[in-house]
Structure 1
Amino acid sequence: MSATATIKKVSEIYKAPAPHMVGDGFSVQNVFPNGNRLGRRISPFFLLDYAAPAYFPPGNKPRGVDEHPHRGFETVSIVYQGALEHRDSAGNFGKLHAGDVQWMTAASGIVHEEKHEQEFTKRGGTLEIAQLWVNLPKAYKMTAPRYQELLKEQIPVVPVGSNSHVRVIAGTFNGQQGPAHTFTPLNLWDVKLAAGDTVTLHLPDGFNTGIVTLHGEVNYNNTHTAGSVEIAMFDTAGETITVTAIADATLLVLNGQPIDEPIFAYGPFLMNTQQEIMQAIDDYNAGKMGHL
């Protein structure tokens, strides 16, 4: 960081639209402007669905999303409240509780299901999660799938301000390295700021940056204010962002080196060309991505 570090200026504040259902277990808001058609503005991040806290009564059958395919990118699921279960065609199985993160690399193709965890289903409770889609460079889109289960205790917590902290899921914050292995340079931080606390984020010049306020209200660089389920988009130029909590706030910081390649997306597939999308559909229909 240079002695003359410059500020990353806010370019836009965007409020997420009303929620919609995904399967029968997730009421989500698509946080990125224009759905997932931001292109290079927030690359390598492609989509962010946020399921705000919602109560589910006790039940017998786990709610969620039945088996479906992915190819060409990674899904990152962050559990804030409640519990999830994951199964996929590569043989991975995981239970995620509050504070846990699942980082699934679909790459050449995987079929999975995401459901409420069985004990959580039986007793009922409040569920809150965020799921992020991270694009892969062309060179890695057809590599073997990979699964990373990042438990709460594996994720470094860095105190900031008087009563606040940053959880480093990926990348580096104040010298602390997150546990996630990524294909391109990026920072993914889960931030809790108490009202009145301020943190200065040091981020690489030239990287795309978006900060999502999941709860609360914050001010950026003494110029812009953002509230619940709003994303602040920043210029790529600059190296610092100063964040002050007006009210207790939960933030998700997305910062990454752009992938300067064409994007062609269709449903659960994220590739570079229409031809590759058609091949993905054919491969899934032929069972080449497996089944549960």
Structure 2
Amino acid sequence: MTSRTVKALHPALRDDIGDLTTRRPLPGPGLEQVDPFLFLNHHGPQVYPPNNRGLPFGPHPHRGFETVTFILDGELAHLDSGGHESVIRAGGVQWMTAGRGLVHAEISPESFKRQGGALEILQLWVNLPARLKMTTPAYTGLQRADIPAIAADAGRVQIDLISGEWEGQQGPIRSETGIAMAVLRFEAGGALSPAVPPAHNVFLYVVRGELAVSGRQVPAGNLVTLNQDGDAVEMLAGTQGALVLFGHAMPFDEPVVAHGPFVMNTAQEIQQAVRDYQRGLFGGIPGG
């Protein structure tokens, strides 16, 4: 296999939401998307005191894409107008397909607001192609025990497989667009060179630690873009190990028109989304 070379590093920029520490590597200066990956918010790490107000993401609409939320620390409650409800704890993942439209809330459980605690969350937005923009909304909440943990490099790397296939094992999420997604946990000196189809775009964000990608050092808080000049991604962790969000997918190569919580292909479709939401066609949830 031939390792892809690094195109550029894109540091996450600070953009706090109220008292929630937030950094965003995508979109950023010079990088609008890594088709079909659109947006990443890195919330925390931080510690909430007892009797806190919790997360600020009350009821709001979405249409035309998917949200994938990784709970690295703490807890996250989900409620949406499709009738889905869950509380996902550390190590778990929420995968929501907004499709034709729904209203959802991502908030802290009452127990977390009373007791406080550590919190760190990643939220990734993944586009849907035109043929699936108006698909039926769906939601899957995975606890840590629902996610396969695959050992590699003599146990120095753990692959938490969310979607796609890894050496014959299938992730619990079956993506309709063939997206592969995993959380990679490297011990010091751990190495991994996963195969990636040459036509796919790679999504690689270093959450913690330090990682060498094709020999280039990547500090925590950086998104790496790669050239499409190989069929593998060479990764080597530094002395403190690393935590990495890793995915890949075939790009859609379609127009992207985004407006707030809606991502469509044309401005007219955005206008229709706004009208549909205002008419109540996305449904509602208690307190919304």
Shared fold by TM > 0.5? yes
The answer to whether residue 94 in structure 2 is matched with residue 98 in structure 1 is: no
Match of 1:17 in 2: 13
User: Following the alignment from structure 2 to structure 1, what is the Cα–Cα distance between the partners of residues 30 and 68?
Assistant: 15
CA deviation vs aligned residue, 1:117-147 (integer Å, no higher than 9, x gap): 2212111001001001011111111111111
Cα distance change on mapping 1:17 and 1:61 into 2, 3 Å: closer
Moved segments of 4+, more than 6 Å: none
Residue identity in the other structure for 2:235: V
Match of 1:188 in 2: 181
Residue identity in the other structure for 1:146: A
Residue identity in the other structure for 1:53: P
CA deviation vs aligned residue, 1:247-273 (integer Å, no higher than 9, x gap): 311000021110121111000000000
Match of 1:29 among 6, 12, 23: 23
CA deviation vs aligned residue, 1:173-205 (integer Å, no higher than 9, x gap): 222211112121121110010111111111111
Match of 1:233 in 2: 225
Match of 1:278 among 271, 275, 279: 271
Residue identity in the other structure for 1:149: G
Aligned length: 283
User: Following the alignment from structure 1 to structure 2, what is the Cα–Cα distance between the partners of residues 203 and 37?
Assistant: 21
Q: Secondary structure at the match of 1:276?
A: helix
The answer to whether residue 201 in structure 2 is matched with residue 205 in structure 1 is: no
User: Following the alignment from structure 2 to structure 1, what is the Cα–Cα distance between the partners of residues 50 and 242?
Assistant: 29
The answer to whether residue 242 in structure 2 is matched with residue 249 in structure 1 is: yes
Alpha-carbon deviation of 1:61?
A: 4.7
My pick for the range that moved more, 24-33 or 100-109, is: 24-33
The answer to whether residue 175 in structure 2 is matched with residue 173 in structure 1 is: no
Match of 2:2 in 1: 6
CA deviation vs aligned residue, 1:207-229 (integer Å, no higher than 9, x gap): 0012110000011122x110111
User: Following the alignment from structure 1 to structure 2, what is the Cα–Cα distance between the partners of residues 288 and 187?
Assistant: 31
Alpha-carbon deviation of 1:80?
A: 0.6
Unaligned residue ranges in structure 2 (runs of 5+): none
User: Following the alignment from structure 1 to structure 2, what is the Cα–Cα distance between the partners of residues 217 and 229?
Assistant: 9
Retained in 1: the 8 A contact 2:52–2:116? no
Matches within 5 A, 1:159-170: 159-161=151-153, 162-170=155-163
Match of 1:139 in 2: 131
Match of 2:103 in 1: 111
Alpha-carbon deviation of 1:60?
A: 6.2
User: Following the alignment from structure 1 to structure 2, what is the Cα–Cα distance between the partners of residues 137 and 25?
Assistant: 35
Residue identity in the other structure for 2:13: P
User: Following the alignment from structure 1 to structure 2, what is the Cα–Cα distance between the partners of residues 70 and 128?
Assistant: 23
User: Following the alignment from structure 1 to structure 2, what is the Cα–Cα distance between the partners of residues 37 and 276?
Assistant: 24
Retained in 1: the 8 A contact 2:97–2:137? yes
User: Following the alignment from structure 1 to structure 2, what is the Cα–Cα distance between the partners of residues 25 and 71?
Assistant: 27
Matches within 5 A, 1:59-98: 59=51, 61-98=53-90
Cα distance change on mapping 1:48 and 1:60 into 2, 3 Å: closer
Alpha-carbon deviation of 1:19?
A: 3.4
Q: Sequence identity, in percent?
A: 34
Q: Secondary structure at the match of 1:49?
A: strand
The answer to whether residue 29 in structure 2 is matched with residue 38 in structure 1 is: no
Cα distance change on mapping 1:77 and 1:239 into 2, 3 Å: same
My pick for the range that moved more, 173-182 or 76-85, is: 173-182
Residue identity in the other structure for 2:67: T
Alpha-carbon deviation of 1:63?
A: 3.3
Residue identity in the other structure for 1:6: T
Retained in 2: the 8 A contact 1:29–1:50? yes
TM-score, structure 2 normalization: 0.94
Q: Secondary structure at the match of 1:133?
A: strand
CA deviation vs aligned residue, 1:45-72 (integer Å, no higher than 9, x gap): 1101111311111116543211110000
Q: Secondary structure at the match of 1:31?
A: strand
User: Following the alignment from structure 1 to structure 2, what is the Cα–Cα distance between the partners of residues 111 and 122?
Assistant: 26
User: Following the alignment from structure 1 to structure 2, what is the Cα–Cα distance between the partners of residues 60 and 26?
Assistant: 11
Residue identity in the other structure for 1:107: G
TM-score, structure 1 normalization: 0.93
Alpha-carbon deviation of 1:150?
A: 1.7
Cα distance change on mapping 1:110 and 1:33 into 2, 3 Å: closer
